[in-house]
Amino acid sequence: MDITAALIATLLVALLAVFTVFRAVRIVPQARARNVERLGRYHRTLRPGLNFVLPYVDRVHRAIDLREQVVSFPPQPVITEDNLVVEIDIVLYFQVTDPRAAAYEIAGYLQAVEQLSVTTLRNVVGSMDLEKTLTSRDAINSQLRGVLDDATGKWGLRVNRVEIKAIDPPETIKDAMEKQMRAERDKRAAILGAEGKRQAQILTAEGDKQAAVLRAEGDRSAQILAAEGQAHAIDRVFQAVHRNHPDPAVLAYQYLQTLPRLADGPNNTFFVIPSEVTSALRGVSEAFAGNAPAAHGSEDTAVHPGSETPAGLSPG
């Protein structure tokens, strides 16, 4: 009987020792922290890894997550400065930096962060009109983050980022905005069409100008080449005539043959015949009449159109 009681006592002591050792050892996972109270008062915070506490004296609270946490709140109705109700949906990124403060400075820090975010959002957006609210998301995010970070610092929290997911104005405002956007698109399309038409007209005018310049240059070059050709031909004829020493009588005869063609124009009334040609014609006339050549005149003789014989000469 004594042996049995001793064995039972030894077994109980062993179990108590094992249980005591088990209670004295605490393993905290990574990115977690656990607060320890000794005799009802905060004693210390257990960090990740192997930790030892006093069994039956220290009380270890549940683990607190030290990782960055994401909280998405339901859409909140907010009144803007111009008395329009918009629903804003925000996402909050925060992190516990002080486990002791998060546990003892605030009761339920998640709910506290949510309520503070909603209140701050209404204060910030309430000082803006609808247009500024829709176009100033970054400014709203920065103001929310600054206010929340200052307010939650004493709770052992750090607000890393605040993002606005959506801003929903009333349906009437949506319809008006859609009409305005459609009008802006039509306006831009009309402006682009007019600009394209103007550019096309400018390019067409430039092309016509270049074509006219090129045609004028071509006509000028053609006229220059034609004039040079005529001048070259006249020069060749002149050289050939003077090289062969032509008889003045022959030249006068050819001149007489040319006069009717010169008189074909309606505005041709008379022509001035050089004195040398007149002298040659007089010599031809005297040669046909059997008389001696007369003295050369020194003045030009006028010949009227329709008459092939110069004044003062008898035909044949």
266's tokens: 């309606």
pLDDT at 283: 60
HSE-up (13 A, CA, CB side) for residue 210: 6
Using CA atoms, how far apart are residues 70 and 76, in angstroms rounded to an integer?
17
The structural architecture, per CATH, of the domain 69-169 is: 2-Layer Sandwich (3.30)
Q: Confirm if 157 and 96 have CB atoms less than 8 A apart.
A: yes
Using CA atoms, how far apart are residues 196 and 64, in angstroms rounded to an integer?
65
Domain ranges of the chain: 2-65, 69-169, 174-245, 246-303
Q: What is the largest CA-CA distance in the chain?
A: 198
pLDDT in tens, 202-219: 998 988 889 898 889 888
Round the average pLDDT of the chain to a whole number and report it: 80
pLDDT in tens, 233-288: 777 776 776 666 666 666 666 666 666 665 665 656 655 555 655 665 566 566 55
pTM of the complete model beyond 0.85: no
pLDDT in tens, 65-94: 999 999 888 888 998 888 888 999 999 999
pLDDT at 254: 66
- For residue 45, pLDDT over 90 is answered with yes
75's tokens: 């859409």
- For residue 305, pLDDT over 60 is answered with no
